[in-house]
Chains A and B, each alone.
Chain A
């Protein structure tokens, strides 16, 4: 459209202003992670840099944040792997093969509905379920719940990616004598790898970011990073420095993903929103 210099400046000012609004607070928090508590409290902008917060967080005797980060990683990697495998196979079958209507529509409909309902309304039931089989607080409980929580998103994402493949490739494969499974492994899977990466990135972020499920279903030994961070804020003597340090550490995977795979994430978001 039109591009008067004044409107151009204004638009860029607005957008970059917002970008500053995003970076500013983040950088301020970052800075807090490196300050002594006294400097945080007095609001000193320039203060001696210290790693003490990180030390206290990760290595002190009462500290268990390293374990928490590890737990987040375990839960994230395992649940994401399970989700992507299940979702990709199901997406392929639902998109290209003949599935009876009484399976297809309830499955997709319920997945969509479940995705839109508040997670907290299920948590109580999940807790009871796991408790009754002795799984409360275990890795398995959190992993399984993450899996089922992210399955709808992954499913719809993969359906849109698989659906974007040309139909006649599959028909050619069938004429060449492939079974459904062979069509999937030899044709669909190699060609949908980009989409799978995008979905994996998003699902991992969702799992890493999860709070509600981990809060209620994990135990002290399986606590994930987000839950640990929240505990810093619960005490009377709020541990600002450690909270900030923990924040920084928790953002690292996300930032890493943006730097490395920005295009994938955007692809995933756009495809997901279209559904």
Chain B
């Protein structure tokens, strides 16, 4: 039996970055907000502390902060004609669980999309001709411009206490920053994270080739910083225990460290953790989601929470699953290409390299997740694709995020994986290895999508999301191009030896590659081509606002969190300044 609770003004389904941003902005506007989160509440002063956070076994190997696949997972296949099988334990990507979501264990690289990324279909057509984009490449312009989002990117930078070097301040190019970025209204709140030996050698080599290296921008405070919420963040310790792990100094930004300390004090906000939302209750005639149904994991009881506004702020897969199960919007049908919910799934195409310098000391174990030097010369439309045979691009980085001893040991290819010879090579090279990454775009393709699995169900009996994904040939060529540029830089670094690590042509669900999943509830200019409008408002339910990377029409060559954070502030601004005055569609269909 379902217990019906009393109405609230707004409810968030999921409580990571976007749930927290929306809850904070809506309570500030006077609304009573309930935050629903499937996992536990995570409190920095209690859960992110020394020495327990510096545990590679618990966090990096056993994935303590990640989703519980015994409750919920997805199924996967490379191609639509194959049998999809469940991901029995997550690997290639690691959605988080608990307050803060994936934004606790993330690498905290904080990027903005390029201005041309937001109008990529138009930009490619203008530059390469109206027939240049292949038929199966279903990319779309975003319904917002870089200039629309800039104030909200800036806002998110400041919430996070971001560190970096501006390369374009109000149109003025600044050497040492990313000269390809769109104009920024303001500097980063903090100076860049310090660079390591490897990063400095990389920067010199890149410069010698005419490229434009700069320190990787991060949502990590390089110095103590008080954000606009009045929350003080600590300075980065370069501890090397960063990826997949929570930050003990509250330097690496999370909703828990930057927003929740203020939000928890607000009586208009109520957090309900360990509450798993199983259903959006949709009134199709009224075009509203009237309530959400959840199970309280502590007593097994079901509750119905009516709300004036519903913020759908779970991970990409959860957002799509909720819409498909509730019948909101038309499901994407691969055979006909019709329908939109589940369409334009994209991933991030990463490939790397390792180089070895026998006479250089790298002290590889220190670093922070975003500690590195990067070039953006081959991202998006920063370079001419004429004659290259692909579209898209990515950044090319020397990452010095720390080399934890279980997973961070790099040895030259051809080294045995065990035995005395392996041990000698490990000891020989541990202090002398540098690691590199190319992070490329994945442009949407009609064969990459999500729908409901016909066979497998979650712990609540709901069909799992079925993911069909393989990087199109376009992406494989793009990655090969980035690797060739990276190889040029590595050669200029004059290593003792190096190895390039291209990805196989067939995507594999293990090992870890990237948690950057996007699409499925794409935003757009009209309901014929998109699931949500430019304010992330559902075309089919005007009180439903879908947050996160599921609204990206395709994945550009940047980490998604900067853009999804900016979109959350932009959406919240539309709700508080427009929707509350006149609840209804903010864009006429």
Do A and B belong to a common assembly? no
B positions within 8 Å CB-CB of A: none
A positions within 8 Å CB-CB of B: none
